[in-house]
């Protein structure tokens, strides 16, 4: 990224201000990046825990797969999944709060006796799936924020801060050269004036 500047004191002041802002922001961004990295790891572990719970539950219920063919899946539906939002490293992230279901009325006499237990099993499975999906979403959101923060850290650290430092050095060097030339020119003018005065005195 090319930093635009002019060879004057106003441009130098502006560049110094921009450099100061970035130098102050860099440690904050690095801390945010580290915090997000930890949170991504935690979210991944939570998502994996729910995935493992789901696998275990499905393995358990697969034994009674013949019974499940009798089950009327329309008896249970998800009414609502409620989430709460928490701030993690300045980012609003959804987390599982609760889940509510709609259970259609059915006759206990006309259906197998295990149907109420089947409904509870499905409720537990749906709850685990909802928790797992939200944990994965949380992980993705945190990872996205972490990547963006890493990009900003790299931009500041490897591009902008060195760029501003180089531009400041060049302006300072130019202004010093300009000042030295001005001083040299003044000395020459004074020397010529002194010579002219001596010539006038001699005449």
Q: In angstroms, rounded to a whole number, what is the distance separating the alpha carbons of residues 1 and 152? A: 13
Is 103 domain-assigned? Answer: yes
| DSSP-derived secondary structure letter, 70 | T
Is 172 domain-assigned? Answer: yes
Examine the pLDDT at 203 and tell me if it is beyond 70: no
Is 131 domain-assigned? Answer: yes
Provide the pLDDT for residue 127: 94
If you count them, how many residues does the chain have? 203
> Burial level of 116, CB count in 10 A (0-12/13-18/19+)?
middle
Provide the pLDDT for residue 165: 94
Q: Quick one: pLDDT band at residue 201, thresholds 50, 70, 90?
A: low
Examine the pLDDT at 146 and tell me if it is beyond 60: yes
The count of structural domains within the chain is 1
What pTM did the predictor assign?
A: 0.75
Provide the pLDDT for residue 63: 66
Q: Which domain holds residue 90?
A: 9-193
Q: Which two tokens stand for residue 8?
A: 């004057």
Examine the pLDDT at 100 and tell me if it is beyond 60: yes
Examine the pLDDT at 188 and tell me if it is beyond 60: yes
CATH of the domain at 143: 1.10.287.3240
The 3-state secondary structure of 172-191 reads HHHHHHHHHHHHHHHHHHHH
Is 95 domain-assigned? Answer: yes
User: In the chain, which residue ranges form alpha helices assigned H by DSSP?
Assistant: 9-62, 65-68, 115-154, 161-202
Least confident of 42-51, 62-71, 129-138, 172-181: 62-71
């Amino acid at each position: 990224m090319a930093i635009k500047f002019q060879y004057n004191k106003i441009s130098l002041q502006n560049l110094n201000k921009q450099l100061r802002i970035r130098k102050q922001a860099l440690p904050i961004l690095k801390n945010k990046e580290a915090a997000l990295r930890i949170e991504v790891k935690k979210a991944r572990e939570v998502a994996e825990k729910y995935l493992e719970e789901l696998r275990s539950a499905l393995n358990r219920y697969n034994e009674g797969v013949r019974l499940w063919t009798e089950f009327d899946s329309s008896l249970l539906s998800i009414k609502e999944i409620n989430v709460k939002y928490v701030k993690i490293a300045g980012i609003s992230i959804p987390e599982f709060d609760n889940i509510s279901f709609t259970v259609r009325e059915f006759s206990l006499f006309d259906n197998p006796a295990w149907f109420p237990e089947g409904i509870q099993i499905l409720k537990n499975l749906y709850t685990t799936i909802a928790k797992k999906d939200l944990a994965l979403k949380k992980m993705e959101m945190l990872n996205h924020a972490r990547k963006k923060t890493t990009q900003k850290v790299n931009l500041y650290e490897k591009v902008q801060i060195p760029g501003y430092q180089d531009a400041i050095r060049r302006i300072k060097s130019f202004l010093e050269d300009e000042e030295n030339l001005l001083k040299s020119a003044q000395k020459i003018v004074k020397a010529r004036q002194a010579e002219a005065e001596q010539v006038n005195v001699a005449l």
